[in-house]
Amino acid sequence: MIWVFRYKIIMASVLNDTMEKANAAYQEGRLQDAERLYRVILKEHPYHSQANFSLGQTSVAAGHPNESLRFFETALQHDPNPLQFWQGYVDALLRCSRFDQARGAAQKMRGFGFDGQSCDRLDQNIAERQAK
């Protein structure tokens, strides 16, 4: 029984280390390294919301917003609370010119109890991007 507990502690430590390395690679602009590390995490923990969100951000930064959508959606399915998850998702939708879906996401945010200002800013951003 103790070995199971120790194993879980070790695996949590490995996960945290890998996440830190992936985040550092992303911040340093080493997008391929970041992507590889986020995928390592997702191979073992496919529903890890932060890793999914971060891989979505990495995909957008690499110029692949369509690919990012599934990662943002998975992150939001498993943790709809972080505002940054919604902002990243809406930004990716806008980059794909999916304006109706972006508006729908902003509406869902209201349903999750986000404040009116955050949603209003997203609505304004959607309108501005669509007008371009």
Q: Which residues of 14-48 are buried (b: 16+ CB within 10 A; e: fewer)?
A: ebeebbeebbebbeeeebebbbebbebbbeeeeeb
Per the CB < 8 A criterion, the answer to whether 65 and 92 are in contact is: yes
Per the CB < 8 A criterion, the answer to whether 16 and 45 are in contact is: no
Q: CATH number of the domain that 99 lies in?
A: 1.25.40.10
Q: Is residue 123 predicted with pLDDT exceeding 80? A: yes
- For residue 92, count CB atoms less than 10 angstroms from its CB and return exposed for 0-12, middle for 13-18, buried for 19 or more: buried
Domain count of the chain? 1
Residues 56-66 have pLDDT tens digits of 999 999 999 99
Per the CB < 8 A criterion, the answer to whether 106 and 93 are in contact is: no
Instruction: Please report the pLDDT score of residue 29 as a whole number.
Output: 97
Residues 64-95 have pLDDT tens digits of 999 999 999 999 999 999 999 999 999 999 99
Q: What percent of the chain has pLDDT over 70?
A: 89
Domain of residue 25 covers 2-131
3-state secondary structure 91-131: HHHHHCCCHHHHHHHHHHHHHCCCCHHHHHHHHHHHHHHHH
